[in-house]
Chain A
Amino acid sequence: MQRIDLDDVALRELNEILQAQGDDTNQTSWEIINPKGSHALAVGLDAPIEVTIKGSTGYYCGGMNKQATITVDGSVGPGVGENMMSGMLKIAGDASQYAGATGRGGLLAIKGNAASRCGISMKGIDIVVHGNIGHMSAFMAQKGNLVVLGDAGDALGDSIYEANLFVRGNVRSLGADCVEKDMTPDHLAQLAGLLEAAEADADPASFRRYGSARKLYHFDIDNAAQY
């Protein structure tokens, strides 16, 4: 295992080292210590490596990730896993606002709570939050799955295109054009797989599914009040 101490190595240098790892690297396991809330830690990785960050991070941790498995042993600031492409991000603590924003693929698992705008404009990422999520989550979500074991805040899935929102707890309110939908056997199987991948112990049958009513796709004068 390679260990990098951010008290000794500059952030930019750390990211360059991690970004330089290729598909065939022998150095597949990394530990980063003393993150101290730094921004943009382990961003833009593109190799099947495992990176563990020992402590809490600032903005944009693991952004644009491809292939790598990044574990944060703490909480993360705004924009964790922003525009993630593939791989996995595991957060032991809480996540601040817009976790997984615009993510295109991979799995973002948050053991604690996520704040507002979780999964905003998600485009294929899977997000599993063990706790609660804040308001305006999955705003304009286009593709992917958002799984919440706790409660969701106001205006869940506002102006949603296509994405599955699975919530086990209460939803304070649904956003424009977001409605509850049937849970089919296919959805239950898909949800079971996501829960397992995110190490979440919950019965898929205890969730409700929400998605797009598809009434805002094309402008209709009768819907003007909803825009």
Chain B
Amino acid sequence: MCGIVGLFIKDKALEVSLGDMLSDMLVTMTDRGPDSAGIAIYGSGAADHVKISVQSADPDTVFDQLSEKLAGALTLPFEVERKSTHAICTVADQDVAVFDDIIKEDFPGLSIMSRGETMEIFKEVGLPKDVIARFGINAMSGTHGIGHTRMATESAVVTNGAHPFSTGADQCLVHNGSLSNHNNLRRDLAHNGITLETQNDSEVAAGYLTWQMQNGANLGEALEASLSDLDGFFTFVVGTKDGFGVLRDPIACKPAVLAETDQYVAFGSEYRALVGLPGIADAQIWEPEPGKVYFWKH
């Protein structure tokens, strides 16, 4: 199964509640997938800086070591803000190459979950309520966010198999379904310079969209192209720095509900996920059409 939630805020007054609303929505979807959970939040960012979300199996020692190493190597101020098994490293653009070298050479056990100007990704094995609590998602504010609770089908129940997947700066994707041509596509993407970290089918979809956008497509066009190149079952919810998109495959077995008011656009695998949102009684609520791209932009 898997459960997906997403929230794209239109009314700035609601941005402070993004984490809170998204958390409640995701917990409601727990029984669609208890294996692991993850969330992407598009929050604040500083100009000329990149936020890199890293995860460690041994956060108690590794993040201190990382801070120490960075202090000796980076030229400009940086931050390593630990949140449970993750740390958000804020690094000046001109130091990113050095940062990447350090991770590669000295911290091979660290996983990079995401990078971008505003996006942060947190994901772990466990129930949504536990994952949300350990990262303090409720307290986060932002312009849009996407959450996923996973029932694993195509690859192992490990942190790196959890969603959202990010394969490009400020880009993320969550997926309910299964792709049948992901091995071929993974090889094609590798030829085109998109390297993927896992054997997960959903990461291939994320990589595919990244590749399309690298070649000039906007999010809507990239999603449109995926209809002819991806084979299998999918409901995708995707985010970019200022965009939010939804797409279901033409067979559309996987459930999806959209709601829109003057204040927000909300996505839920089921209507249950949306019932706590403000003004939902008067929202426009509909089931997204099969094979039709839905796309909002700030």
A116 close to chain B: CB less than 8 A: yes
Given the interface pairs A94-B286, A134-B290, the reply to whether A116 lies near B272 with Cβ below 8 Å is no
A11 CB to nearest chain B CB (Å): 12
Q: Which residues of B contact A135 (CB under 8 A)?
A: 250, 252, 290
Query: A20-67: which residues lie under 8 A (CB-CB) from chain B?
Result: 36-38, 56, 58-59
Docked Cα-Cα span, A97 to B253, in Å, equals 8
Given the interface pairs A36-B275, A116-B252, the reply to whether A77 lies near B290 with Cβ below 8 Å is no
Q: Which residues of A contact B274 (CB under 8 A)?
A: 37
B100 close to chain A: CB less than 8 A: no
B59 close to chain A: CB less than 8 A: no
Report the contact-size class of chain A (Cβ under 8 Å from the partner). Answer: 10 to 19
Docked Cα-Cα span, A36 to B273, in Å, equals 9
Query: B271-298: which residues lie under 8 A (CB-CB) from chain A?
Result: 271-275, 285-287, 290
Q: Which residues of A contact B287 (CB under 8 A)?
A: 94, 96, 115
Residue of B nearest to A38 (CB): B272
What are 19 sample pairs from A and B whose C-beta atoms fall under 8 A apart?
A37-B272, A37-B273, A56-B285, A58-B271, A58-B272, A59-B270, A77-B255, A77-B270, A78-B255, A94-B286, A94-B287, A96-B255, A96-B287, A97-B252, A97-B253, A97-B255, A116-B290, A134-B252, A135-B252
* SS class, residues of chain B in contact with chain A: loop
A75 close to chain B: CB less than 8 A: yes
B3 CB to nearest chain A CB (Å): 12
Pick from A37, A115, A116: contact of B271, CB below 8 A. A37
B113 CB to nearest chain A CB (Å): 31
Docked Cα-Cα span, A135 to B252, in Å, equals 9
CB-based contact A77/B271 at 8 Å: yes
Considering only CB atoms and an 8 Å cut-off, how many residues of chain B contact the other chain? 15
The 5 closest A-B pairs by CB, nearest first: A37-B272, A37-B271, A36-B275, A56-B271, A115-B287
Given the interface pairs A116-B290, A134-B290, A135-B290, the reply to whether A75 lies near B252 with Cβ below 8 Å is no
Docked Cα-Cα span, A28 to B255, in Å, equals 34
Q: Which residues of A contact B273 (CB under 8 A)?
A: 37
Q: Which residues of B contact A115 (CB under 8 A)?
A: 252, 287
Docked Cα-Cα span, A96 to B251, in Å, equals 13
Docked Cα-Cα span, A161 to B287, in Å, equals 29
CB-based contact B290/A37 at 8 Å: no
Docked Cα-Cα span, A135 to B289, in Å, equals 10
Q: Which residues of B contact A78 (CB under 8 A)?
A: 255
